[in-house]
Structure 1
């Protein structure tokens, strides 16, 4: 980026032509697609467009500028080739109403929004480029579209906003292997799948460039195609000559299209115009007004809010887009990034960080799993725009910075550690990262215990919940108006992608340093909001406190016995074969049990089973709910198919896959816990997912036998008992239920007694089971139909159970209605600890959406509070164990359960301590209860 900006020189005659259509789709996919303005119209793409235009205008100081749009999909190219762009997806429905608003936004900037019926935007750009050159003007085309490279020549350059890079004729040669005047010929041969331009089959860009350079032009090549020695190539060119000529007419830009305005009408205007302010205010873009230093004296209107299906449901979007904290910062486009490969410079940076009291840090590695990764480099930023990259593990480097042949020196890792360890372990210096638990593990691997830390991902998560994603790229676009360099830009894509240690240091410098720079800028925006929005406690006591705990859990991993897994895989395979044979026998012939289409034919066409329904494709649905209804009727083949499916999933997902997930370095499985992935604050697990191992079936429980303790140790499992039911009793202030928990009464038997009007000692197992289903169903907002499915009764009977329950426990009904009202009013509910859980579509007109949102509103405060309690317990656990002189290691968190690896001699003391921490961490009206068990494997411990 720094290199690109060095070329940012404009003259007073320069014409800037912006590819508006390209901007629209970049904006649409860059920002959340659920933002609406105060009138309920989607505006995610509009906001992205506004952000990109403000950045462009600030960076380029263009004297003349216009934004060019496609008038419509149909143009003269469809007359030439009706299949032109036939493979393009339909325009997303929520984007269509934004086209007009984006044109309005362009005009509000004082910039012409140009289009011409029957022509593409690229044709207008080509025409204006020709006219400008004829008048002696220079041209900058702002686009990422490779088709415009045919226009590159002296006095014409392209600025690619995706890469923040200016391009000239040499870039066309790098892309197409030919000079710009021959780009069309190469494209004519190679075709373009994205636009359905046919080209010549079997000829790609590289071969096309070779042929055009050899024969001089497309016409000459086609005329002499018979002379080509390679038979396949010769035949392809002869047989597809007309396709090549048609392709040329499709890719050749028409530079004599009618033009809507003259250059004088493109003269840039002052941004501080009432028209622009009015437009931004109308869309609810108050943060943009603030960032541009504009004044808006009109009465304030509601902010844009996140929604699903155009339904307004949430709080102010402006809270996510405040730029005031970065006012006066160096624009990110004017960054200065430093490559550190000498010890004095590194020490200078460390000294500056210590003096500043904070530093943003990031690591570059070879793998997304820390336990499998090697450290490649470290980046750091101290002030916005000033960032550095320290390469330590790049391989096969040449001096791309200086253009020579010598290897770029890298500091020995031991020297880097010697300088950075005192800084990163200094309690007086705050270390800021984005998803910093990853970096904590990488630093721990080289002997550095980083503390204290802040995490911009978690700051965003705490402040905005699930209103938008929390990845650094998305936050950069959303809050800084800056498109970051993407990993694929530096490491390549597909089979050509390399690990980061093979990335050129010159490319790695901007990519890695930008990460630290952006992280620091995001911190300056997000951190002040904690106090402003009263979210300090959620962040400090829960989310920030748990980062080092989770990092250590992931780094530790859990031991898995491959012998057990292999044995189970073999047994499951044998059982699957037996089930498959039985299914074939019942069907009367063999078929692929795994094929939904073939299964549907067998069940509904051949066997004539009733209750089936067809999908949009016309095939029979064999979804789980369809098969479960049939199995409930006692249809044997369906029962066996469901059993086969469950077993096949266990085998493929766990007993087979887990063998490949074992880290050869450690002999353990290292799952990754997502800290910012759920609406309620619950942790989720991936790579592999260890939270979804079934426990209700014998086979599912058996998989836990493969998770074992090291020699001399046991696994300890401590599980909260009925935590959400206890919270429901406490938060709804249900006195009868609260007292039952205090007295340690069987809560399901009590409910059965209260609801069905029988003495407690006469509650039958059937009544208790029904009461249990109601107890748990109520806190999930269950319907009569859903409860009926669980109990195997009629919906009317299930509805009567629910009615009796809510009549007896009126406080629960009042609580449910209060939570729904809270969600309708705010667009979110809060947990006991203040976490915001976003509730989309709570005011939707669609009944199904609204009902689902209402169930969320009921359950989210319970599940969210339970998640907060679990995190509080986890955060306190390491200190409690250390204080007691115990050496247990926490390995897993699965829903309401914690799993530890404990020396056998310490198990009873550790179990008692863990139970005490978990039961005493929260102060609510109902006692929490945790149950402990232990054994050599997870199955026996649970």
Structure 2
């Protein structure tokens, strides 16, 4: 049975582009590949899951007849983002390489091309699916023609005649034209009838059957609605013309021309390598399920068949260990190990790597060591499984690892530091981490060795899966392999790391990032490694009690929700929650809906509706409680290491675009601190036995950085005089004495302080504060009048970013902003906000990193046994021996407050307790 898929190219390209707007996919050449990747993923899903026999992709092509009859058609739309302009030709190249027909006709939109093809072949009995998120296509649906629409959040839904008739409440799909003509379409900028929405339009269509009949019988309509329609007759007629998708486009096309064909693999691979689509290429060019080439076979996307059904050798432009001359040597006897270590001890640097049994450094057992001091030459030392025997060989290399005159080079060297530490070895001397170097140079990109080798060296490394197999139950362990099997892989890691170091180091100097790298990021590696090795104690009894309390509280919320709703339902289902709130209780006149027609019940939406009905607050409480239980209360005990009795979170140093640290397993950065329920979780974090919990955090550091960057006298004066900045801001805005400022005024000023400096809009501030837009607009104006240089700084930050293409911190950390000069206001606005935010948030991150390094060094120098155990945003936490209490507090406060010399004082607040909650 023939099955035809027709794709609305631009609709899918735009959808993909905006899906990645906040975290765009940028390759090493600076190309935004978001739209290309999203489009290819969609194509892959269609071909591999829906198995069409025929396919075509339709593009708009120039101005259309609609622009001629109605010049304002789509005139309100912003310029196409430059990234999309660059992506379209590449997408067409990919389609050509896949031998998928590109359908476009001068003077017509993709809608018309698809309408013509779908109608023609649908009438001929071919099942035809139009892949588009556009509701206009509803008019084309027939017995054999369907919409295949992307769902919000993933997946697709198929819409046929019944679904469209039910969705819009109209007798036939063809009446979608009349519906749109009455409603108008803000996206396409045609007017319709002012004041007529979807429900009224559907009612009129059901009553009169068509626009033509309606306009002939307006005398049957009562009241103001009749006046609206009679005053908009010409607009309604024009809107119908614009809304009608043409089905008579002059396009000569046979069904055979749309048949799914074998792609040109060589051309396709070359395109993907240029785009750096490694993961996508692996998935799309997968040849594990080759099938003989015949008409009946449904093809896997990019599967490649040779005439005799045999797999062709892989073609690649990358160098590999098979094409580059190299010397990788296995060292498996003690005498050679001694000689090798002596040889390394004469060098200024050595590239190191470890092979282990686990990615968790705390649990990992060493399998082998690898070293390199010269490009294309490396050594691998296998270690026995018996720990005591392994220690004998590790001790041979201990003088090398602990020599503070020899630079240690590694990729994610913190991992090697921790693994070696578990075997009694402490890495000494300066370290160069290629992952962190690349992170500083290109923070938005990937920083794993495989990616850097391909993009920077043009070299494809041996991947771990080639040795131990893909992830899953059947995956092997490195311990299962022979030293000979591991040698090439392990030695290559050390070699490639060395080659990357030689490439990245001069680039750091060229970009002025050397000081940030050598003085802050690299010393921080040891600090974080020690924190992770030490871990944090948990009060498991407190966790169990908190779990019981939270579970009981959830049940109470559940019963209250059912009572207020008047029925039981699944509170965990967004759809059922929406149906209760907006369908049954009707707490809002015009609730937002997703593209699938489901009510939006996000936290942001519900927070704005709390005052409308008590059930909303209880639903929010229930959701919050459920998240805390699943994410922390019930999850934390499972993360306790059985050997140490602690949890060992991982601090990620090369993950965020701003330079901030993140953490994982568990993510401690996201523990809520403002709610009482969230605070209960902190109560479960405790110090070591016999120790106190000490917490220190910066006071309003972001605003202090803004005062410094902007040089605003009023803001600096408030900080220098030691005023509460939010109270001082309120006093300035409302012209009050500072001691007469009310708590309500202070709260508003606080929201203004933290919202406005990050470029919040009038609407955003109004929503956050629960005030009318007019009041929010006035507050922003008053704020900038009070702090005029803040406004000037924000504008200057955007101008500087436009000129340079990036924003930078006081410590010269860069955040690149490729969209800062975009002609698309939405895209440009996001980049402009980052131009303001990045210097503030990035400088804050740099300052606390400096403080952490200095505190760690002071502890070492002064013989402090107490430990720094956690970092969360602008807060540091310690497990402190009582006898070191005064000394620790003095060191911590000194180093935090002197980490950076600003034009206003940095201040840190401190607290003590028996757990994190009490101390903070």
TM-score (norm. length: structure 1): 0.67
Structure 1 residue 428, shift from structure 2 partner: 1.9
2:313 paired with 1:336: no
CA–CA separation in structure 2 for the residues paired with 1:470 and 1:34: 13
Preserved CA contact (<8 Å) 2:321 2:461: no
Instruction: Select 1:582's aligned residue among 548, 560, 564.
Output: 560
Write the mapping of 1:731-770 to structure 2, written as runs, cut at 5 A.
Answer: 731-770=709-748
CA–CA separation in structure 1 for the residues paired with 2:88 and 2:397: 52
Match of 1:896 in 2: 874
Question: Residues 919-939 of structure 1, C-alpha deviation per residue, up to 9 Å, x if partnerless?
Answer: 112112111101111111111
Write the mapping of 1:566-577 to structure 2, written as runs, cut at 5 A.
Answer: 566-577=544-555
Match of 1:415 in 2: 392
Structure 1 residues 677 and 196: CA distance shift in structure 2, 3 A? closer
Question: Residues 783-824 of structure 1, C-alpha deviation per residue, up to 9 Å, x if partnerless?
Answer: 222222232211111111111111121111111111011111
Question: Residues 479-510 of structure 1, C-alpha deviation per residue, up to 9 Å, x if partnerless?
Answer: 01112222222222222112322244443222
Match of 1:386 in 2: 377
Match of 2:578 in 1: 600
Instruction: Select 1:929's aligned residue among 894, 901, 907.
Output: 907
Question: Residues 682-710 of structure 1, C-alpha deviation per residue, up to 9 Å, x if partnerless?
Answer: 10111110111111111100111111112
Preserved CA contact (<8 Å) 1:394 1:505: no
Instruction: Select 2:600's aligned residue among 617, 621, 642.
Output: 621
2:352 paired with 1:361: yes
CA–CA separation in structure 2 for the residues paired with 1:45 and 1:362: 36
CA–CA separation in structure 1 for the residues paired with 2:662 and 2:555: 33
Match of 1:268 in 2: none
CA–CA separation in structure 2 for the residues paired with 1:82 and 1:837: 43
Q: What's the secondary structure of 1:870's corresponding residue? A: helix
Instruction: Select 1:83's aligned residue among 52, 66, 75.
Output: 52
Match of 1:650 in 2: 628
Write the mapping of 1:149-548 to structure 2, written as runs, cut at 5 A.
Answer: 194=300, 253-254=306-307, 333-393=324-384, 412-452=389-429, 453-466=431-444, 468-493=445-470, 494-548=472-526
CA–CA separation in structure 1 for the residues paired with 2:656 and 2:455: 20
CA–CA separation in structure 2 for the residues paired with 1:923 and 1:33: 36
Q: What's the secondary structure of 2:473's corresponding residue? A: helix
Structure 1 residue 774, shift from structure 2 partner: 1.4
CA–CA separation in structure 2 for the residues paired with 1:816 and 1:736: 16
Structure 1 residue 184, shift from structure 2 partner: 5.7
Structure 1 residues 632 and 501: CA distance shift in structure 2, 3 A? farther
Question: Residues 9-57 of structure 1, C-alpha deviation per residue, up to 9 Å, x if partnerless?
Answer: xxxxxxxxxxxxxxxxxxxx9xx9535989x8969999xxxxxxxxxxx
Instruction: Select 1:612's aligned residue among 591, 595, 606.
Output: 591
Question: Residues 36-87 of structure 1, C-alpha deviation per residue, up to 9 Å, x if partnerless?
Answer: 989x8969999xxxxxxxxxxxxxxxxxxxxxxxxx99xxx99xx9735989
Q: What's the secondary structure of 1:371's corresponding residue? A: coil
CA–CA separation in structure 1 for the residues paired with 2:268 and 2:731: 71
Instruction: Select 1:841's aligned residue among 806, 816, 819.
Output: 819
- Count of residue pairs the alignment pairs up: 687
Identify unmatched segments of 5+ residues in structure 2.
1-19, 38-42, 60-82, 98-255, 271-277, 280-286, 310-316
Match of 1:725 in 2: 703
Q: What's the secondary structure of 1:333's corresponding residue? A: coil
CA–CA separation in structure 2 for the residues paired with 1:192 and 1:881: 66
Structure 1 residues 390 and 582: CA distance shift in structure 2, 3 A? same
Structure 1 residue 117, shift from structure 2 partner: 8.6
Structure 1 residue 102, shift from structure 2 partner: 8.6
Structure 1 residue 856, shift from structure 2 partner: 1.4
CA–CA separation in structure 2 for the residues paired with 1:124 and 1:830: 44
CA–CA separation in structure 2 for the residues paired with 1:793 and 1:369: 49
Identify unmatched segments of 5+ residues in structure 1.
1-28, 47-71, 106-115, 126-140, 146-160, 163-171, 177-182, 198-250, 257-287, 293-328, 396-409
Preserved CA contact (<8 Å) 2:536 2:685: yes
Compute the RMSD of aligned alpha carbons: 4.0
Q: What's the secondary structure of 2:634's corresponding residue? A: helix
Structure 1 residue 761, shift from structure 2 partner: 2.5
Preserved CA contact (<8 Å) 1:569 1:651: yes
Match of 1:824 in 2: 802
Question: Residues 349-376 of structure 1, C-alpha deviation per residue, up to 9 Å, x if partnerless?
Answer: 3233223321111112222221122222
CA–CA separation in structure 1 for the residues paired with 2:305 and 2:90: 29
Preserved CA contact (<8 Å) 1:365 1:373: yes
2:645 paired with 1:667: yes
Structure 1 residues 873 and 252: CA distance shift in structure 2, 3 A? closer
Question: Residues 227-271 of structure 1, C-alpha deviation per residue, up to 9 Å, x if partnerless?
Answer: xxxxxxxxxxxxxxxxxxxxxxxx975579xxxxxxxxxxxxxxx
Structure 1 residue 841, shift from structure 2 partner: 1.9
CA–CA separation in structure 2 for the residues paired with 1:331 and 1:697: 58
CA–CA separation in structure 2 for the residues paired with 1:693 and 1:385: 46
Match of 2:196 in 1: none
CA–CA separation in structure 1 for the residues paired with 2:453 and 2:880: 43
Preserved CA contact (<8 Å) 2:608 2:770: no
TM-score (norm. length: structure 2): 0.69
CA–CA separation in structure 2 for the residues paired with 1:142 and 1:513: 33
Q: What's the secondary structure of 2:608's corresponding residue? A: helix
CA–CA separation in structure 1 for the residues paired with 2:462 and 2:321: 18
2:689 paired with 1:711: yes
Single out whichever of 616-625 and 504-513 deviates more from structure 2: 504-513
Q: What's the secondary structure of 2:371's corresponding residue? A: strand
Question: Residues 836-872 of structure 1, C-alpha deviation per residue, up to 9 Å, x if partnerless?
Answer: 1222422222322222222211121111111111111
Question: Residues 275-313 of structure 1, C-alpha deviation per residue, up to 9 Å, x if partnerless?
Answer: xxxxxxxxxxxxx9xx99xxxxxxxxxxxxxxxxxxxxx
Q: What's the secondary structure of 1:509's corresponding residue? A: helix
Structure 1 residue 711, shift from structure 2 partner: 1.7
CA–CA separation in structure 2 for the residues paired with 1:686 and 1:787: 31
Question: Residues 323-344 of structure 1, C-alpha deviation per residue, up to 9 Å, x if partnerless?
Answer: xxxxxx9997323322221123
CA–CA separation in structure 2 for the residues paired with 1:476 and 1:815: 40
Structure 1 residue 740, shift from structure 2 partner: 2.2
